[in-house]
A and B are shown apart, each in its own frame.
Chain A
């Protein structure tokens, strides 16, 4: 069959139209897409942050109070493995010299040097863990929370090396048999081979509740809120007193402030 240039172009044009029409039909023929929406009761903020008033904790709280730790561990099914190497930490205690190295005068009052500080993930603005994570299992949310997607974690532990605050723990073994608190059936446990850390109670915020540790503290030493809202609890706590952040020289911009 002899085909002139003219017929060839005509056929080509018709084919192109036909292919385009298929896509058009697809686009118009589609039924309504399912909708995914945010929880309406959820709390939202531009930058979630926490202020920890250690003075209140030491002075008003009962001796050796660990209500916040207990509340967190019960809420998130955090195991108690029993060894320091395999310890799983979401919120924990440490001494001044380990909390603020490089910020010591060396002449602090005895009370500050010896009393325990509450530590948790700082939810840094420039989080090193997020930068080093090869699978983006750890990522930064728009509201400032440094979030973990346990499904994606491959257990490489780069984030643990990257975090200057020791806020991340690795599950060297199946944590389930070591959960000593009552199991919270609404929150998952973790699997062997993933890293975990504090999530600023992201799952509670979305249900309209403040973090479990803040709620559990009877002496109101912990305040939580939006750092960009001048009327929030954190901003009010920080406005009246001098506060410190951990290792400011690293430029990670922590979201947890300490009032001493």
Chain B
């Protein structure tokens, strides 16, 4: 069997396959390390019973829903206190309650949010308004997003939004 221009076709095919599978072989064996949110803050260290408002597994999957419900309850219904199932009362406030224990935003929140590719200032945009607690030192790899090497705002690709202040 003779393939006309077989030389060119096969070279083209090889280039095509190489390019199409580029993402697979280029990142092979270089998976980003799994996030390790740390809870080694002074406040948590002092707690005898290290228990958040919900069990850990529930917090991992439900915290975004919980925070969303809390803000509605606080801002719109004026209900500010949360009674957990163990009877403990918490103020429903990200800035004033959650971050009291989890005072290490870059080691806790950012760990998973960066790993999952949530953009700074875009996806969980909590911190555009809410003030994160000051952290003593900032030596960690998750900070690369902070220096603006990544599009800071997904709108900025498509429109004039977000140009003037960034």
Contacts and interface: CB of A to CB of B under 8 A. Distances in A.
A97 interface: no
A150 B71 CA distance: 10
Contact of A206 (B76, B78, B85): B78
A209 interface: no
A191 B125 contact: yes
A147 B72 CA distance: 13
A188 B95 contact: yes
Contacts of A38: 78-81
B82 A34 contact: yes
A47 to B, nearest CB: 15
B31 to A, nearest CB: 34
B129 A36 contact: no
B14 interface: no
B81 A39 contact: yes
Q: Classify chain A: how many residues form its interface, as a range.
A: 20 to 34
A188 B131 contact: yes
A151 interface: yes
Interface in A160-198: 173-174, 183, 185-192
A interface, over-half SS: loop
Contact of B83 (A37, A151, A183): A37
Contacts of A188: 95, 129-131
Contact of A189 (B73, B81, B129, B165): B129
Nearest to B130: A188
Given A173-B165, A185-B131, A190-B129, A34 B95 contact: no
B131 A37 contact: no
Interface in B75-98: 75-85, 89, 91-92, 95-96
B129 to A, nearest CB: 4
A108 interface: no
A260 B141 CA distance: 61
B75 A185 contact: no
A184 to B, nearest CB: 8
A148 to B, nearest CB: 8
A36 B95 contact: no
A149 interface: yes
Interface string A25-40: 0000001101111110
A186 B79 CA distance: 17
24 contacts: A31-B85, A32-B85, A36-B77, A36-B92, A37-B79, A37-B83, A38-B78, A39-B80, A39-B91, A147-B75, A149-B75, A150-B129, A173-B164, A173-B165, A174-B165, A183-B131, A186-B95, A188-B130, A189-B129, A189-B131, A191-B128, A191-B129, A206-B78, A206-B80
Interface of B: 71, 73, 75-85, 89, 91-92, 95-96, 125, 128-131, 133, 164-165
Given A36-B81, A141-B78, A174-B165, 15 more contacts: A34-B82, A34-B83, A35-B83, A36-B82, A37-B79, A37-B83, A38-B79, A38-B80, A151-B71, A173-B164, A173-B165, A174-B128, A189-B129, A191-B125, A192-B165
A-B pairs, top 6 by smallest CB distance, nearest first, are A35-B83, A188-B129, A191-B128, A36-B79, A174-B165, A37-B81
